Amino acid sequence: MRKWLKVSVMMLALFFLVGCAGMQTTKPPDDPFLTGSYRSLATLDTAYDTAWGGFVQLYKDGLVKEETFQAGRKLALDYFDKWTKASKYLLKYAKGEAGEGGFDALKDLANEALKAMKDYLKEKSGGVKPII
C-alpha cells in the first residue's frame, strides 16, 4: 500500500512537471525551486531504493534474520513517511497553496531518516556494496 502511495505521489509530481513543460513548449518551467526540489526528492528516492532493495534481497536469500529485517523495515517506513510529507508539500507548493519555506525542513527530516536506515542496513548486512 505504501509503495503504491509513493508511486502515485511521484507520478503526480512527474505529471505536473510534464504538464508545465507542455504549457511552455519553447523552454522548461521557470520555477527553479520546483525543479530542484523535485530532483532532490528523486535523488533521495533512488538512494532509498538501492539500499532497501539490496537489503530485501539479502533477506530473501536467507542472509538476514526476520527480526533484523523487521527492524530495518520500521526504519524504511519512517523514511517513507517523511519523504511522502516532503513530496506532498511540494505538490502544495506547485498548486500555490504553500511557500518555499517548509520544504527544506521536511526534506532534511527525510534525509536524516534515510541516513539512519542506511546506517542500520549497512551494519546489519556486513557492508554489502548496494547498501553503502
Residue 25: predicted pLDDT? 47
Domain of 77, in residue numbers:
2-131
Residue 126: predicted pLDDT? 78
Residue 26: predicted pLDDT? 44
- Amino acid letter at 52? W
- HSE, side-chain direction, 13 A CA sphere, residue 114: 24
Q: Report the domain count for the chain.
A: 1
Report whether pLDDT(125) > 90.
no
Each residue of 27-47: pLDDT tens digit? 445 789 988 999 999 999 999
Mean pLDDT within 93-99: 90
Residue 48: predicted pLDDT? 95
Grid cell for residue 105: 525542513
Each residue of 50-82: pLDDT tens digit? 999 999 999 999 999 999 999 999 999 999 999
Give, in order, the Cα–Cα distances in Å from 62 to each of 85, 124, 130: 33, 13, 17
CA dihedral 73, 75, 81, 86 (to 10 degrees): -130
Each residue of 100-119: pLDDT tens digit? 899 999 999 999 999 999 99
Residue 10: predicted pLDDT? 59
32-60 and 2-23 are packed helices; what angle lies between their axes, rounded to 10 degrees? Answer: 150
